[in-house]
Amino acid sequence: MKHTISVLVENKFGTLNRVAAMFSARGFNLESISIGETEDKEISRMTIVTRGDDMIISQILKQLNRLIDTIKVNDLTHKPHIARELLLMTLKLDKSQQREIFELINVFKGKVVDIKQKSITIEVIGSPDKINTAIDLFRPFGIKEIARSGTVALNRGEG
């Protein structure tokens, strides 16, 4: 099954490479990986989405922990957490369909970030499921290009 793992790592060159290389060297599935600085400049947070049975996931968690640059590993899958992904998508813009497109953007609480005579670029932020649904529903209008950020996730606050 799909797992979302949040990893705190040292913010050093080569860290992303070490993590990604561990996945490829051990034949683990790596669906998405995203990384960015945290409130502490020396630490980055990595969000990894992967798949596997319990035995594989437990190996992934242990192998991540074993890397020297890894400070903390947290499997969010069965814990209350927030997961978001950013979608940038350029669609063909046909005047006759303009209203429908804008209605759909509203449904997904999306934003228009660029608009030209023949194309429109929108952003949608949401859970990976919502992003998938958005792509499906926008597809009939003609998708020209897509960029997805991969998931970023945090556990929910306490209290």
Partner 1 sequence: MHKSGQTMNGSEIFFECLRREKVDYIFGYPGGALLKVYETLYDVKDIKHILVRHEQGATHMAEGYARATGKPGVVLVTSGPGATNTVTGISNAYMDSSPMVVFTGQVPSTLIGNDAFQEADIVGITRPITKHNFLVKDVKDMALTIRKAFYLATQGRPGPVLVDLPKDVLNSECVFNWPENVEIRGFKPTIKGHENQIRKAAKIIARAKRPLLYIGGGVVAAEAAEELGKLATSQDIPVTMTLQGLGAFPGGSPLNMGMLGMHGTYWANQAINDCDVLIAVGARFDDRVTGKVDTFATHAFKIHNDIDPTNIDKNVKVDLPVVGDSKHFLRTLLESLPKAREDRSPWLRQIETWREQCPLGYSIDEKSLKTEFVIDEVSKQTAGNAVVTTDVGQHQMWTAQYYKFEKPRSIITSGGLGTMGYGLPAAIGAAFGVQDRPVVLFCGDGGFMMNVQELVTAVHYKLPVKIFLINNNFLGMVRQWQELFHQEKYSFTDLQNSNPDFIRVAEAFGCKAMRAANPAEAKQAIDEALAYNEGPVFVEFQVVKKDMVFPMVPAGASISEMLLDRLNPKTMV
Which residues would be at the binding site for partner 1 (CB under 8 A)? Answer: 9-10, 14, 17-18, 21-22, 25, 55, 58-59, 62-63, 65-71
CB 60, min distance to partner 1, A: 10
| Cα 2 to Cα 71: distance, rounded to the nearest angstrom | 23
In this complex, which beta carbon is closest to partner 1, that of residue 1 or of residue 68?
68
Give the chain's largest Cα–Cα span: 57
In this complex, which beta carbon is closest to partner 1, that of residue 1 or of residue 55?
55
CB 155, min distance to partner 1, A: 20
Residue 131 in contact with residue 89, Cβ under 8 Å? no
CB 42, min distance to partner 1, A: 9
Q: Which residues of 79-95 are buried (b: 16+ CB within 10 A; e: fewer)?
A: eeeebbbbbebbbebee
In this complex, which beta carbon is closest to partner 1, that of residue 55 or of residue 159?
55
In this complex, which beta carbon is closest to partner 1, that of residue 1 or of residue 25?
25
| Helical axes 98-107 vs 128-138, angle rounded to 10° | 170
CB 21, min distance to partner 1, A: 6
CB 74, min distance to partner 1, A: 14
| Cα 55 to Cα 74: distance, rounded to the nearest angstrom | 16
In this complex, which beta carbon is closest to partner 1, that of residue 57 or of residue 120?
57
Helices in 7-159 by DSSP H: which ranges?
15-25, 54-66, 98-107, 128-138
Residue 146 in contact with residue 87, Cβ under 8 Å? yes
